[in-house]
Amino acid sequence: MAQKDIPFTVELIPEGKEDSKAPDRSEEGEAGSGRPSPRDIPVPEEKAVPQEKAWSVTQLTRRIRGLLEESFPVAAVEGELSNVRGAASGHWYFNLKDEKAQVRCVMFRSAASSLRFALEDGMQVLIRGRISVFEARGEYQIQVLTLEPRGVGALQLAFEQLKQKLATEGLFELAHKQPLPYLPRCIGIVTSPRGAAIRDMLNVLERRFASLPVLIAPAVVQGDAAAGEIAAAIDILNRLAPTRKIDVIIVGRGGGSVEDLWAFNEEVVARAIFHSKVPVISAVGHEVDYTIADFVADLRAPTPSAAAELAVPVRDDLRAVVEELRGTLFSRVERMSEWNRERWAALRARLPSPEDAVRQMAQRVDDLRERIQTIGRVKQEQAVQRHRHAQARLLMARPDRLHKHRREVLTDWEGRLSVAMGAQLERLRGRLAGAAGVLSSLSPLVVLERGYATVTTMDGTLVRGTKDVRQGDALRVGLHDGVLDTEVVGVDPHRKQD
């Protein structure tokens, strides 16, 4: 990473304003358990120090440590992070450098727990801490108490880091967004029950769809405990969704500062929204406010009131749509009925009349009768011819023997002819009887015997429907045993027969 031209600066906090509380040596990891006061260590004179009074390395290191810690009780230093390393104990170790120098730094767990973002190499920061010496290595270092990013606020940096992390995991992808139901059976709301946002949402829901059930899962919406309560409330509504028929969840609160809205930038809330089986609408702050919850939610609303409007349609609009659809349905049914009536009339016109059917069957009976008579005459003539031929042959043969033989043959032929004629006549009688039965079933007289009637005007015109007559017309009703002369006293085309 290219180094920026940033001066290495040190800011001293005036006496009395620094934190005078000494750090816990048990978590610093230094070799010494305490430091001697500079007054307790003899200062050598400018003359040569006798060899027997030479300092030990520990004494020298502690003297240097004492001088540094007294001279720089708390220092503010600006620079670039490098060699950032997080330990399992929760401590952070790194170097702070500029283009010409660097210094080792340690941020113990007690101070690091207040960070809302992760430390990264190349990050420009402003730190405040105590200058100290790590006696085990004889190196001076800064015990960092606070750390702030330069050029961007700590909250904004934490926001960008979490946003990048969740985007990399795919939590913002459209493929994971669930569609909202057009008309939910019940709406779940996660917010503070004492805030203005819940009143605004309930007022909008009452105005748009008064009878819609609403289930509120109360949660603190700002402060350290807010993120956990919001995530727990989302989980509770998901577990109640099958029994309470919750189809959509609104998560949000009214406007406020970045710190007030920070609970909706926490990872636990983002993952609770992502894992929700019920579609979630995020409604945090005002239109200009954006949180991590907005990117993960299935739909982002600019305000809580707008979320309520997006969640449900207006009941009066639904009634208007239903009325329009009902009118369209009735119109289509009427057109279909008219089409069916026209089609029925066309099919009825194509059907042959009973009189034509009777005439066709009578003609076929005549044809069959003629064919039977023709076949009988042919068979009879054939028998006569055979008989004559046999007689001729008998005359040409010996009379005494051939006469008897031919008589037997003739008798046999006569019997076979009689049997054949009888069988043929029976088949023809059966076909004739069947044709007569069909003819009888198609006869209008048989239909009339079952209770039906033919209706005509007095001049003989057949009446086919109510549109052919008017009130006061004289009609002639034909029954199977006679004719009735009647007069129309009323016409009702829509009334069906009982």
pLDDT tens-place string over residues 400-458: 666 777 788 888 888 888 888 888 888 898 888 888 877 777 777 677 767 678 888 88
Specify the range with the lowest mean pLDDT, choosing from 62-66, 219-223, 265-269, 304-308.
62-66
pLDDT in tens, 162-219: 888 888 888 888 899 999 998 899 999 999 988 889 999 999 998 888 888 999 999 9
CA within 13 Å, CB half, 388: 6
- Could you give the percent of the chain with pLDDT greater than 70? 83
| 483 φ/ψ angles, rounded to the nearest 5 degrees | -130, 140
- pLDDT of 39 above 50: no
**CATH architecture assignment, domain 172-313:** 3-Layer(aba) Sandwich (3.40)
- pLDDT of 253 above 70: yes
Same fold, 10-151 and 172-313: no
The pLDDT score that the predictor gives to residue 300 is: 92
For residue 453, what are the CA distances in angstroms to 56, 94, 472?
139, 111, 20
This prediction has a pTM of: 0.44
Confidence band for 491, pLDDT divided at 50, 70 and 90: confident
Closest CA to 133 of 29, 44, 27: 29
The pLDDT score that the predictor gives to residue 461 is: 86
Closest CA to 71 of 141, 132, 137, 136: 132
Residues in Cβ contact with 391 at an 8 Å cutoff, skipping those fewer than 6 apart: 406
- pLDDT of 21 above 60: no
| Cα R_g (the chain), whole angstroms | 56
Tokens 């113990």 correspond to 108
Tokens 């120090």 correspond to 49
Domain boundaries defined on the chain: 10-151, 172-313, 354-442, 449-487
The pLDDT score that the predictor gives to residue 244 is: 92
CA pair distance 233, 225, nearest whole angstrom: 12
Closest CA to 280 of 315, 313, 225, 238: 238
pLDDT in tens, 353-404: 777 777 778 888 888 888 888 898 888 888 888 888 887 776 666 666 667 7
Torsion of CA 184, 186, 187, 190, to 10 degrees: -150
Q: Contact, 289 vs 261, CB < 8 A?
A: yes
The pLDDT score that the predictor gives to residue 30 is: 39
CA angle 493, 496, 498 (to 5 degrees): 145
The pLDDT score that the predictor gives to residue 498 is: 55
The pLDDT score that the predictor gives to residue 4 is: 39
What is the 3-state secondary structure of the chain?
A: CCCCCCCCCEEECCCCCCCCCCCCHHHHCCCCCCCCCHHHCCCCCCCCCCHHHCCCHHHHHHHHHHHHHHHCCCEEEEEEEEEEEECCCCCEEEEEECCCCEEEEEECHHHHCCCCCCCCCCCEEEEEEEEEEECCCCEEEEEEEEEEECCCCHHHHHHHHHHHHHHHHCCCCHHHCCCCCCCCCCEEEEECCCCHHHHHHHHHHHHHCCCCCEEEEECCCCCCCHHHHHHHHHHHHHHHHHHHCCCEEEEEECCCCCCCCHHHHCHHHHHHHHCCCCCEEEEECCCCCCCHHHHHCCEECCCHHHHHHHHCCCHHHHHHHHHHHHHHHHHHHHHHHHHHHHHHHHHHHHCCCHHHHHHHHHHHHHHHHHHHHHHHHHHHHHHHHHHHHHHHHHHHCCHHHHHHHHHHHHHHHHHHHHHHHHHHHHHHHHHHHHHHHHHHHHCHHHHHHCCCCEEEECCCCECCCHHHCCCCCEEEEEECCEEEEEECCCCCCCCCCC
- pLDDT of 34 above 80: no
Closest CA to 67 of 106, 39, 46, 102: 39
Closest CA to 16 of 98, 73, 58: 73
The domain over range 10-151 is classified in CATH as 3.50.70.10: no
For the record, the structure tokens of 233 come out as 């409330």
Q: Contact, 309 vs 204, CB < 8 A?
A: yes
